[in-house]
Structure formats: C-alpha cells, structure tokens
Amino acid sequence: MSLATIPLIGLKADNFRHPLDLEATNTIKQLPGIDLLVRQLLGPLGEQFFYMENIASSVLVGENQLPHLYKILLDACQTVDLEPPQLYVRQHPVPNAYTFAMRGKQPFIVVHTSLIELLSLEEIQAVLGHELGHLKCEHGVYLTLGNLIVLAAGQISTWGGIIAQSIQNQILEWVRCAEFTCDRAALLATQNPKVVASVLMKLAGGSPSISAQLNVDAFLAQARAYKEFSNTELGEVLRQLQTAQLTHPLPVLRAREIDRWSSSQKYQDILQNLTRSDYNSQSKGGWRNW
C-alpha cells in the first residue's frame, strides 16, 4: 500500500482545528489557578525528569535506527508542514502513542511496540500524524497536564477536593475534544479516511492475529448506528456516562467524526488550496519554521 501523500504547504492549525477543541481550549484557559498548576507540575525539574525517564527506557528512531519508521515520520511531518520531533519506540504491551512537548525543549513522540505490531505502516503514519497534530496545535502543556492529573487523581489538594475534581473533569473534557482535532491531522497525514478508521477499529477490537480479517466498512456502519442512538435523549445521557472519565472519545465516535469530516468541503478545500503550485515557493527545503 502506498504511503505517498501530497504536502500541505502552509498548513495552519486553524485550518483543521475541531470547533469543540477551540471551545474547550478557551474554557480551560479561564480556569482559576490553571497557570499555577501548570508551573507546579511542569516546572523545569518535571520537564527534565520526563525527558530523562523516556530517553533511558526507549529506543530513539533515526536514520540508523528503525529507518523505515524514521522515513514515515519525515513524510508525515512534510505533509502537515511541521519540523520533525524526536520519535521513540518503547516496549509496552498496551497499544498506545503519546506526545510530550516541554516548554523550550525538544518535543518527542513515543510509540509502544504493541501498537507497531498491530498496525500497518500506513496506519502507523496516521498515528504519527495524530501526534503531530498535538504539536501543530500546541496542545503539549495541557495534554501532559491531563495525563498527570489522571495519574495523580485524588492526590491534588491545592484547591480542595471539589475544586480539584472540577478542574480534572474540565481538563479531561479538553483532552477528548483535542483528540478530534488530531484525528483530522491523522487524516491530513495519510489523506485516506479508511486508514484512520482502521486504526480506531484496531484499537477498539484488534489484535495481530485477526487484524487482516477486520472490515473497515462494517466498523463505519457500526459507528453510524452508535451515533444515531446517542442522538436520542437517553443515548446522550448514556454517552456522557461512558465518556466522563475517559481521556479519549469512544473509538466509534471518532471514526464517525473523521468519516464525516473527510466528506466535508472544508477538508476538500485544504487539499486543493494548500497543494497549489503557488504555495511551493513558501517552503524552504520542504520545511517551514513556526
């Protein structure tokens, strides 16, 4: 399967940012004490700790280390018009990938070995595109804060239990909204909605032994059926109960949303307007500084 995509020269975060992401970001910035919480949990010592812990326990991908993964990272970066971060592979039985963007430091992406075993190369490129979406939209600080709050639930007492719970709920809501934006980045990186849907399908119910037997069209039909049910009054209540403490939206909702956006005029406009030849002169060697 070809990994070739058309570079989107001059792509901006606002070209593809999901409206729920924009709304949730504006809300979280207004939370009282959020800046203090960020400084406490993501200060210089915390930044150094996370970087050292990762570099000591993972494999750095490069020209001489897993070069096939390095190539699709560079391809995805070129497609979404972003300079490449570091990429690490980490031994872990739970399929996952995440991004850490330290203030003023080199951002990096970590991909678990079990995720690599589960996905095709094109699907891995979609995952990298998703993580690059976090960097493109400058999600890093709040994204890391969300992960830390999940790990430290019940231990944050600065503002008291009720306020801490309120902050946690709003940050988790922001993280879920940000994921919709980054799924769009995954689509832009691959320019194939079925590849993105396939990643979500495999994360929902895949394994290396049955991946080849899974049917993306059937999963999308399942996603549409769930969406129709969740649009009812009872379905909306149940959906909120399902997702309240999750860091990601439900896979079927994400698949339905990316299926819908891939058919939108906005997506078509991005492909048409940012791949015109008159944009090529804006790019220096395929990269742009932001």
Choosing from 47, 53, 122, 131, the catalytic residue is 131
* DSSP-assigned states of every residue in 64-109: TBSHHHHHHHHHHHHHTT----EEEEE--SS--EEEE--TTS--EE
For the record, the structure tokens of 76 come out as 């995805």
Strand intervals (E) in 13-170: 59-60, 86-90, 97-100, 108-112
Residues contacting residue 136 through CB under 8 Å, at least 6 positions apart: 11, 13, 80, 82, 185
Residues contacting residue 279 through CB under 8 Å, at least 6 positions apart: 9, 10
Residue whose C-alpha is closest to residue 96's, from 116, 120, 71: 116
Task: Please give the Cα distance from 225 to 23 (Å, whole number).
Answer: 27
Measure Cα distances from 118 to 37, 209, 217 in Å: 36, 9, 19
Please indicate whether residue 131 is annotated as part of the active site: yes
Burial class (CB in 10 A: 0-12, 13-18, 19+), 188: buried
* DSSP-assigned states of every residue in 179-213: HHHHHHHHHHHH--HHHHHHHHHHHHH--TTTGGG
Residue positions annotated with a catalytic role: 131
